[in-house]
Amino acid sequence: MIKNKVVDIVMFVYNEEKHISEQLDSLIVQKEFINKIIIIDDFSTDDTYLKVEDYKSEIEIEFKKNKIKGKINALAYGLTLVESDYFLVCAGDDKFLENSVSQSLGYLKDTNLPFCYLNYKIVDENLENPYFINKKTKYTIKEMLNKNYASGYIFGKKEIINAILPIEKDIPFEDWYIALKLAVVYDGVYILNKPMFLYRKHIGSTTYNKTKKKYLFLLERDYKLFKILYKNDMFIKYSFLVNNKIKWFKYMLYGYSLKDIKDIFFLKNISYKDKIKVIIFKPFLKWRFDR
């Protein structure tokens, strides 16, 4: 028997007056399990706050202004306000599917996992033309270093917040960074491989219509993330020495294709020295996990 109202929702918003009602409506119908919705507003300039006000009579909402601008700061602030046994991180412009909160809660209880990331259906701005990408239910640390398989929607026990916080400043890809932190502590990343929400893909986002410019932006973002991981040695307890040059070159080739290496040298915002590093850091970190 699942105890009611054991989940705090952590939602970050920025100028969401157009979409936030759809997200809140999708949560209101599941309020049986929700203790409160924590909304962190990242300095919106529209009427997001007024839209939220309309729902305060239907469910407990804690609306806070972000202390320091930025999505990652909003998330970190929101997590410090969690009081319930479980929490669920979400954005303000998507839409939860029916019974997603209870199904997520049931999944953690049935599997005895500390957390899971929710899978989703990708939709356009009008929540139409959905498609679903099947995923595994677990990804290893090395798999997560190769690619971010996790969504930003974490459903977890309150205790895992200690593994997430504090969050490094100026992280270029916070979802991936947090997933890697959790993977280190909990020996992998876990996925509830059913569509739990509709992920709204906006025209102009970094994952929509990938142009050459956006592709190079993503490469540079990867580089900055791995540089931070390497600098802070987040994976120190997994480090080891392997004197095997064949293995090293194998991972050099596995880390980036020849096309990637060529394109890296088109990056304008990093030095020639760092362009060499961008080719090395990612496969080097993966190499350290090859036991």
pLDDT, one tens digit per residue, over 76-134 is 999 999 999 999 999 999 999 999 999 999 999 999 999 999 999 999 999 999 999 99
Q: Which residue has the tokens 């280190």?
A: 184
Measured from the Cβ of residue 66, the count of other Cβ atoms closer than 10 Å reads: 21
Asked if the model's pLDDT at residue 282 lies above 60, the reply is no
Rounded distance between C-alpha atoms, residue 17 and residue 139, angstroms: 36
Which SS3 state, helix, strand or coil, does residue 175 take? helix
- Is the pTM value of this prediction over 0.85? no
The answer to whether 89 and 167 have CB atoms below 8 angstroms apart is no
What is each CA distance from 289 to 91, 145, 203, 258, in whole angstroms?
32, 10, 37, 23
pLDDT score for 81:
98
Distances (CA, A) of 240 to 41, 60, 186, 187, 230: 43, 49, 19, 17, 14
Note the Cα 225 to chain centre separation in Å.
13
CB 71 within 8 Å of CB 79: no
* Residue 191 bridge partners (DSSP): 117
- β-sheet bridge partners, residue 65: 41
Identify the bridge partners of residue 199 per DSSP, sorted by sequence position: 122
First to last CA, the chain: 42
At 57, the pLDDT band (50, 70, 90 cuts) reads very high
Question: Do 100 and 193 meet the contact criterion of CB atoms below 8 Å apart?
Answer: no
* SS3 (DSSP) at 229: helix
Per-residue pLDDT, 143: 83
pLDDT band at 187, cuts 50/70/90? very high
Q: How far apart are CA 61 and CA 35, in angstroms?
A: 9
* pLDDT for 146: 74
- Give the start-to-end residue ranges of the domains of the chain: 7-200, 212-287
pLDDT digits (tens, 9 = 90+) for 253-266: 444 555 666 665 65
Q: The tokens of 244 are what?
A: 């095997």
Q: Confidence class of residue 42 from pLDDT cuts 50, 70 and 90?
A: very high
The CATH class of the 7-200 domain is alpha beta
Q: When comparing pLDDT for 266 and 27, which is higher?
A: 27
